[in-house]
Chain A
């Protein structure tokens, strides 16, 4: 796959715009999950602007690639990207978490582009497995992408799905672990150790790729490698920084599920805008 520097720069710029949008949405809603939304931004931007085969004006196009956000609490990121791609008007973003809104606090099928609701952790890899098996039954060539949190994979259901996906040789399935190292109660590996994480996935029969989850080139190359790998599902272990892009949110556990104040949001915009100008 040819990726030129210009394209990388554009994607990085897009990621900063999306991060700014995330802060704005969560600040306005007075609740939501900024930390994990910011850590996964580069991955979701890469998916929706380069990797996924999709038609925003035809969300139910049968041959679309499927994306499932298993870490559903990070939906502000997803909503910002879906709106920017034209799945629904950007004006809707101001209604995040409001009564009657199409943008629920956790993903819901009333949002164009959302295939299956999520929010309860640990079930998404199974959902993606179901999509993968349906594609195999129908002999379709669409691919399925599932973004998981690192704390989330402490759920047993994830490993049931991991076992089944390799058993059924689901090479049309690509999972991503947003390995930002934090969960609500603290550092992931202090709350419940995940290591050796790569070896675990390999032992479950998966092809593994480790990347810096904020390096756009590495992200795109990983998705490309996953697409070309046959016979096994792929998991991309993306090492990320929780709260990435906003200095005072980075690696601060409290910003897992706390909205920034107006002052904090203003400070965050400034940082993200400065970055945009530099680029």
Chain B
């Protein structure tokens, strides 16, 4: 078998990369990555400014000197890298927390990029720069708190996609050798110069977007194993004057007066030493803090055990000051757990990034075990809520490792029979003195039929759900009335304090130890950053019920959130994404459509599916119609096309530049079947030529004969 000297194949020894386009692209990628890191604050401004000057200069120098050996330059770069590494190691050892360490890591990456930009001879080196850029962007992404990072990520992703395409094209050109290319356009077809490439680019981007979105939805979110210390940091320390463990809420004057003040968006007054159910107000939507946590949870702030008809207080709570010790991940305050849970727990690591000034409460999921806080000691009260000696100013960061009880309905029901500890019962079943009897009767009516504590709790929750309503603008209580009684029997509307208080009172009325807790709702999870964004309006209150043999379990009667057992489903954020899309859609779809959909009732999924299928079929028909708009050939043209197809299958296609007569000659020369059927082929070709180019078309019979000849071709016994 004749062969020849093989053209360069496979791994090619790369010479210097000459393409300026590739180099400019890599420069843009590098600058964008440095910009992302600088925007997130992981490098200081002088370093960033220096990089923005040095990287373009380095790239230009690298381009000019790409063919030379550059040993001197390489030595200088190596020295620079060693110096940067040394500086990094020195600073890391001094770092207080992981966040600081991460910042020095960012600086190191940036210096590596800058130095590397000076020596980029081959395409492989350019690819390394791109990879380093990706690492920088990943670093920046891990430090970014909000969605504005997308402004860097999107152009960066587009540029990297462009790099993938151009570098592949350059590789193809290397392989393709030095053959000359001559291009010709299809005669008569209008070519739209801009539209075609734009459509292709859009198609590729759409494919990436669709696949990426699918991957994003399918990525499971595991709790994560922070093998390094959870971050905490502090911008300025404002000490609480005379801190003795109490809560100081800078937005609320110290408590005590009997008059009720209206509160207008200056912070949740409930974070204080008491919660007064008579207070009315509106909470703003301002962002209070961001929480990084693998799961949603209530960020608990305070708990109260005594209700006097209008106000919850916690008079007998002992406050203990706890200093720092060595925790699992570093120096932390170990919170003594007051009521150890009887069942299993799982660990939840949360990091809080404070955005607005907050009272000195260390919010955390119940129950916090270790607190990594920028202070030397913390105060803990008897209910496990933690206070800090400094006001939480913006840019405060602290982390908490909590033990969250694992509970399921089955577990809770089966824990019956364990007797309640005495002190728990006495302390947490206190009822206000002036509580009307009908409240107690109501409680017994709801709960007595239920067998277990869990069912009783559920029954009360259900009753509240069905018979009361959540509402923000409610009239003030009449003076002297018991808030819960007025809420349950007169008004039947209220906000979370009322509902939670009612539940606590009802449960206490049947002897179940319950306490009242306030804090923040989990907030909305930002789907891109993964952080929970907590706003003022997320301030919330709920109840904690003591189950014998299990411990304190949280219940939220306002939202009737069932006990969460994090199964496989919560690992994925797809449901949240779809819920977010659904919310956006319902905001966009006009009401009549919504009414129509509502009328369908439970059959609406089927209707949606049917609509989608119908739309798809209509689109396909239009597509097929566009293709079929070109009518199928008739007459001698059909015969000729059939003839061409027959011989194309036999390996002799007709090049577009060949006329029918020329094709006929070529076939006669090369294909024995053609020679055999030469008379038929002759007839087909001549008839077609007459039909196409002559002013007088051939007669019907001739066309028929040609068609018959063409149809008979494939069935001829061929010699091949």
- A and B interact: no
